[in-house]
Amino acid sequence: QQPVQSPQAVILREGEDAVINCSSSKALYSVHWYRQKHGEAPVFLMILLKGGEQKGHEKISASFNEKKQQSSLYLTASQLSYSGTYFCGTVLSNAGNMLTFGGGTRLMVKP
């Protein structure tokens, strides 16, 4: 079953912060986050593993709440380059990395 992402779209001014959520109705082994620019391939950002680990990548970090089966992506002091569509992909089994992707969150950062 497809994870649910929220919000569907967000517009920010440069320097503002944003949070994108990814929720699943099933138990997860990991959550993968990707960013896609229009017409390009998705680019890998980070993986959150079962266990509530929080990771960071420049000013982008994420957490995984195992109790809620929810991951959140935090974008701090956003830059113009952060614009794009963010997708979460969820893995339900420890036997592989079959990803089920959410519908995406469109982020636009304005000057």
Q: Is the peptide bond before 3 cis (omega within 30 degrees of 0)?
A: no
Residue 28 near residue 69, CB atoms below 8 Å: yes
Give the up-direction half-sphere exposure of residue 94: CA atoms within 13 A in the CB hemisphere: 3
User: Quick one: 11 or 77, whose CB is closer to another protein?
Assistant: 11
| Euclidean distance between CA atoms 108 and 78, whole angstroms | 10
Q: Which residue among 22, 35, 71, 102 contacts another protein (CB under 8 A)?
A: 102
* Number of residues that make up the chain: 111
Determine the interface stretch with another protein among 10-18, 34-42, 64-72, 75-83 (rule: CB under 8 A): 34-42
User: Quick one: 17 or 93, whose CB is closer to another protein?
Assistant: 93
| Euclidean distance between CA atoms 64 and 11, whole angstroms | 24
User: Quick one: 7 or 15, whose CB is closer to another protein?
Assistant: 7
Least spacing, CB of residue 68 vs another protein, in Å: 19
Binding site for another protein (CB under 8 A): 2, 29-30, 32, 39-44, 47, 49, 87, 89, 91, 93-104
